[in-house]
């Protein structure tokens, strides 16, 4: 099993995603002799998982069923254990595009955190690229190494435990792109410039506060970066609902079926048209935004090494 190479069959030691529904899923490490509890009953790894194909429908002990999915960076972002705040697919997608990443790219990242962005970067630069990721916290760095090894991508990533603001990324003049997600990114701009290739490398800094963005932009200008641009990505989700609206009273014209927008000659509409007219309402499909939406995640500042 690898996050960058699809495997057809579930094997002992794999990481799989147990899918109960769009709002309910979780990762599980497949191990011979182990069982996993769900609200639909027990899943026995030896008989229910190992040897089955990814995407299979598995019946649990209580009669309910779940799907077992092959892990991807997108699914991992939704289900990973949070050691820090993470980046989600909305920001990750624009980061990989604006940094102009492709298979074979060399990327430097700090900090590693929970590894949400790291998995997406690895999948993007595979099979010939490489990710150099730096994490200040020793335990988080060790956990990231363990996860990359379990997920079959350790050959595509190098994890370093050090302070990027003092010691840099450990590489020079080879990176196509640098990503910074640290409290004081302006202190690491010089090291980012040293890590980037001689000309044309791209840099991105993620910061939740505009004061961080201002200091980072000044540091980028000081080190000769060009095309400095800051943006924010906000996701707005809509629910499709059926709503009822009252038919306005327009006098005699309102009694004419043709004014309701229904084809009275159509058998499928005759009954509903009459019923709606008698009730004085008509039904429509409408997109309704969620009552609560995320108002702010962070600012993304991009620049190019001159």
Which residues are annotated binding-site positions for S-adenosyl-L-methionine? 114-117, 135, 163, 181
Q: Is 258:264 a contact under the CB 8 Å cutoff?
A: yes
CB 305 within 8 A of CB 203: yes
Name beta bridge partners: 159: 133
What is d(CA 270, CA 267) in angstroms, rounded to the nearest whole number? 5
| Sheet strand arrangement including 24-29 | 24-29, 15-21, 65-69, 57-59
Burial (0-12, 13-18, 19+ Cβ within 10 Å), 120: buried
SS3 29: strand
The 8-class DSSP code of residue 11 comes to -
Q: Which three-class secondary structure state does DSSP give residue 303? A: strand
- Helix extents (H) in 27-125: 73-79, 89-98, 116-125
Give bridge partners of residue 42 from the DSSP assignment: 37
Helix (H, G, I), strand (E, B) or coil at 242: strand
Q: Burial of 163 by CB count in 10 Å (0-12 exposed, 13-18 middle, 19+ buried)?
A: middle
Residues whose CB is less than 8 angstroms from the CB of residue 51 and which lie 6 or more positions away in sequence, other chains included = 9, 10
Distance of CA 29 to the CA centre of its chain: 21
Would you call 69 exposed, middle or buried from its count of C-beta atoms within 10 A (0-12, 13-18, 19+)? middle
Q: Which residues are annotated as a binding site?
A: 114-117, 135, 163, 181
């Amino acid at each position: 099993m690898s996050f960058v190479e699809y495997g057809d069959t579930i094997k002992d030691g794999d990481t799989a995603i147990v899918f109960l529904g769009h709002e309910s899923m979780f990762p599980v490490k497949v191990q011979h002799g182990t069982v996993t509890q769900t609200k639909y009953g027990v899943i026995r790894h030896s008989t229910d998982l190992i040897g089955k194909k990814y995407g299979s429908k598995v019946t649990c002990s209580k009669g309910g069923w779940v799907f077992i999915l092959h892990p991807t960076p997108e699914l991992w972002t939704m289900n990973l254990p949070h050691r820090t705040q993470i980046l989600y697919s909305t920001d990750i997608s624009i980061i990989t595009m604006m940094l102009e990443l492709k298979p074979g790219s060399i990327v430097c990242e700090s900090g590693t955190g929970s590894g949400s962005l790291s998995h997406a970067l690895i999948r993007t630069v595979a099979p010939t690229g490489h990710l150099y990721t730096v994490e200040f916290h020793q335990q988080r760095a060790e956990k990231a190494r363990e996860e990359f090894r379990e997920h079959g991508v350790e050959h595509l990533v190098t994890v370093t435990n050090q302070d990027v603001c003092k010691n840099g990324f450990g590489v020079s003049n080879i990176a196509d792109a640098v990503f910074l997600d640290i409290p004081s990114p302006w202190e690491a701009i010089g090291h980012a410039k040293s890590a980037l290739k001689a000309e044309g490398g791209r840099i991105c800094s993620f910061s939740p506060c505009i004061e961080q963005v201002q200091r980072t932009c000044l540091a980028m200008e000081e080190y000769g970066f060009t095309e400095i641009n800051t943006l924010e990505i906000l996701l707005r989700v809509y629910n499709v609902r059926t709503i009822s609206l009252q038919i306005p009273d327009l006098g005699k014209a309102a009694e004419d079926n043709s004014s309701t927008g229904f084809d009275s000659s159509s058998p499928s509409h005759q009954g509903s048209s009459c019923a709606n007219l008698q009730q004085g309402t008509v039904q429509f499909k409408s997109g309704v935004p969620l009552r609560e939406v995320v108002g702010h995640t962070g600012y993304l500042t991009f620049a190019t090494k001159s």
